[in-house]
Amino acid sequence: MAMKALDIYKLLPKTNCKKCGFPTCLAFAMKLASGKVDVDLCPDLDEQTRELLGGATRPPIRLVGIGAGERSFAVGEEFVLYRHERTFYHQPGLMMQVADTWPGERIERIMTRVRDETFHRVGEDLSVDGIAFRCESGDADQFGGVVGMVEACASLPEVVIADDPEAQAAALAHCGNFQPLIHAACADTVEAMCDLARKYGCALAVRAGDLEELKRLVGLCRDRGIENLMLDPAPATLRDFLVRSVEIRRRAVERTDPDLGYPVVFDTVPIDLPDAATALGILKYAGVIIIDELAPSSTMAALTLRQNIYTDPQKPIQVTPGLYPVNAPTGSAPVLMTVNFSLTYFTLLGYLEAAGIPCYLFIVDTEGMSVLTAVAGGKLTETVVADAIKKTDLENRVDHRILIIPGYAAPLSGKIEEETGWEVRVGPRDAAEIGEYLETGWEA
């Protein structure tokens, strides 16, 4: 079970010596309780206390890294079952599979897609994270050859899927030094797979449909010194995955079963419901999701879902309020007022840049609320606008006194005019119409 700060404090030396980097033992205890620091930072603990506190305060799910270089990612280090309890920290990696029996062109096409395809949303570039190689030929040389071919043209995080340690060895000879995930060890192969994981220092997935067996495999790996592990609950249906993954996460975050404190791998390919399985993996705690080739329409939706689920539910993503020039405006350019919610800003910016009309985006602080939400929740008011005009020194930055407000803020237009003395024009509701609106003479 997780410990409270005061209980942790009782076990610390209480000398406030600051060697841990915190001003007092209590401050350190509080950080420990929230799972934010490692107990080893305090050098003055006896072995027993260190172990006790470590078990109770280390993140309940181990952080496991996959891949090397720019696209590498880490998963695990999660603390809760439901994102409203806190937030989810490490989004799952989506790994698109290629099989070693496929024609070279098909493999190359997928590799190129994973390497180059990105999709831009709310200031972020979203993309599939890496490649999963599946050994279908049963032939170590063939498998190694395919891995080598892809390895030569892309540096992407990888999963090597082969039950046969020899095929694994052949693949790892090409990519082992780039931290791929080895997938997967089962009862018969655990020893050989551990040897490979040790040789290349990469993460290893263990696979079993039964949680007790998974735990046993974890124990065997740990006995061999392999700690960078992931769990594949070998689901045959969506429900299998849901039930098993939820149970693993629950026991891990409640710290009732430390052997299940590892991120989960979801191989969606055998289930044959690509969209549903990908969505379920994103929602229900997968750390790595192995997918078949999904059409761009699917990856776009899946990556958007992932972005949604992995934002902090307590704080909307915000941009800094202020005056933002778009398309190199001069002092006579129109001023478009909007809110500081990232989604609103980026949506608007996209349309304005596409329209190519010089203007200023005048962003007021609505605490990250969208236009309608801010109007409904009282976060966008005439005083907020008046304050923002002062703060940005708007009067001296443009040589007119006309403010264009969003269509959805129309109810505020009179009040804003009164409070600020600026002339208010109500723009369209939909940002898609903004180019046309500005072109057909906002100055009127």
Partner 1 sequence: MSEEHNPEQGNRILEVSLGATTAEGGTRERVYTVGGAGTFPFLGAGPAAGHPPRIALEICDDTRTWSPIVLREVGDLAGDTGAWAAAAETTFGADMVRLFFTSTRQRGFDDFASLGTTMEEVIGATKYPLIVEGSTEPGIDSEVYRRIGEAAEGERILLGTAEADRYRSVAASALAYGHALVAQTPIDINLAKQLNILLHETGLPPERIVIDPYTGTLGYGFEYSYSVMERIRSVALQGDADLARPMISSAIDSLNVKEVREADPETADEVAIRWEFYAAFSALVAGAEIVCVRHPGTVALLREALPALQEGSHPQEEAYGDESA
**Residues at the interface with partner 1 (CB under 8 A):** 81-84, 121, 237-239, 242-243, 246, 250, 254, 271, 273, 275-276, 279-280, 283-284, 295-298, 300-302, 304-305, 307-309, 311, 313, 343, 347, 350, 370, 376, 432
Helix (H) / strand (E) containing 439: helix 434-439
Binding mask 242-271 for ligand SF4 (x = CB under 6 A): ------------------------------
C-alpha distances out from residue 44 to 19, 25, 71, 111, Å: 9, 11, 39, 51
Smallest distance, Å, CB 51 to partner 1?
A: 25
Smallest distance, Å, CB 115 to ligand B12?
A: 31
Q: Which does 298 bind (CB under 5 to 8 A by kind): partner 1, ligand SF4, ligand B12, none?
A: partner 1
Binding mask 371-400 for ligand SF4 (x = CB under 6 A): ------------------------------
Binding mask 361-390 for ligand B12 (x = CB under 6 A): -------xxxxxx-xxx-x-----------
Q: Which is nearer to ligand B12, 91 or 342 (CB)?
A: 342
Q: Please give the Cα distance from 362 to 320 (Å, whole number).
A: 11
Q: Which is nearer to ligand SF4, 22 or 360 (CB)?
A: 22
Residue 406 within binding range of ligand B12, rule CB under 6 A: yes
C-alpha distances out from residue 177 to 62, 146, 160, 196, 409, Å: 21, 16, 13, 11, 56
158-161/181-185 β-pairing: parallel
Residue 10 within binding range of ligand SF4, rule CB under 6 A: no
Q: What b/e string do you get for 113-151 counting C-beta neighbours within 10 Å, with b at 16 or more?
A: bbbeeeeebbeeebbbbbbbbbbebebbebbbebbebbb
Residue carrying structure tokens 């995955």? 241
Q: Please give the Cα distance from 267 to 269 (Å, whole number).
A: 6
Q: Please give the Cα distance from 233 to 215 (Å, whole number).
A: 11
Handedness of CA 95, 96, 102, 104 (dihedral sign): negative
Residue 358 within binding range of ligand B12, rule CB under 6 A: no
Closest CA to 280 of 295, 293, 261, 266: 266
Q: Which is nearer to partner 1, 88 or 143 (CB)?
A: 88
Q: Which is nearer to partner 1, 202 or 253 (CB)?
A: 253
Give the footprint of ligand SF4 on this chain (CB under 6 A): 12-13, 15-20, 22, 25, 28, 42, 44
Q: Which residues bind ligand B12 (CB under 6 A)?
A: 316, 336-339, 341, 343-344, 347-348, 368-373, 375-377, 379, 404-408, 427-431, 434
